[in-house]
């Protein structure tokens, strides 16, 4: 999370909104939200990338990213990645959503950091929720 957080005196991590199959994490520095992570286990016939296309536009210039799970979109201030999986014996999809990112200041550097982050974290998040590829 280091590339997404500015320097500051107080780091706060709030995961109080998490539920089974729906992890949530808000990360604030000095009282300002700088990173919001969401995970969801959803039905296999649902296309989360298409369903959230408008909200991804709100994050600025969304574009597909190759080679991440079963699909990913990287925007200027967030990203989403999807991986097909089996959860509790049933076919599902895991959706990792990253929002509220405004660091690093350079947009191309931030987008590259977001792509690296979702590429690395999607399989880890899926495993943590018991969602097996």
pLDDT 10s digits, 85-132: 999 999 999 999 999 999 999 999 999 999 999 999 999 999 999 999
Q: What is the pLDDT of residue 3?
A: 85
- pLDDT for res 2: 67
The predicted structure's pLDDT at residue 51 = 76
- What backbone torsions phi and psi does residue 113 show, to the nearest 5 degrees? -65, -40
Tokens at 126, concatenated: 């899926």
**Which residues on adjacent β-strands are paired with residue 25?**
37
Cα distance between residue 5 and residue 22, in whole Å: 23
Provide CB contacts within 8 A for 85, sequence distance 6+: 41, 91, 92, 93, 94, 126, 131, 132, 133
Q: Are strands 71-74 and 79-87 parallel, antiparallel or unpaired?
A: antiparallel
- Look up residue 130 and give its two tokens: 């018991």
Dihedral over Cα of 114, 118, 124, 129: its sign:
positive
Task: Give the mean model confidence (pLDDT) for residues 38-43.
Answer: 94
Supply the pLDDT for residue 1. 58
State whether residue 48 is helix, strand or coil. helix
At 110 the pLDDT is 96
Q: What is the per-residue pLDDT across 41-89, written as a single tens digit (0 to 9) for each?
A: 999 998 888 877 778 899 999 999 999 999 999 999 999 999 999 999 9
């Amino acid at each position: 999370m280091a590339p997404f957080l500015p320097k500051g005196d107080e780091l706060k991590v709030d995961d109080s909104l998490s539920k089974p199959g729906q992890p949530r994490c808000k990360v604030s520095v000095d009282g300002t939200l700088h990173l919001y992570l969401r995970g969801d286990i959803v039905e296999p016939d649902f296309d989360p990338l298409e369903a959230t296309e408008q909200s991804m536009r709100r994050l600025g210039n969304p574009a597909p990213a190759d080679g991440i799970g079963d699909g990913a979109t990287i925007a200027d201030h967030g990203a989403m990645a999807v991986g097909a999986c089996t959860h509790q014996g049933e076919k599902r999809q895991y959706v990792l959503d990253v929002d509220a990112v405004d660091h690093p200041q350079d947009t191309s550097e931030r987008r590259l950091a977001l792509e690296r982050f979702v590429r690395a974290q999607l399989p880890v998040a899926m495993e943590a929720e018991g969602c097996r590829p």
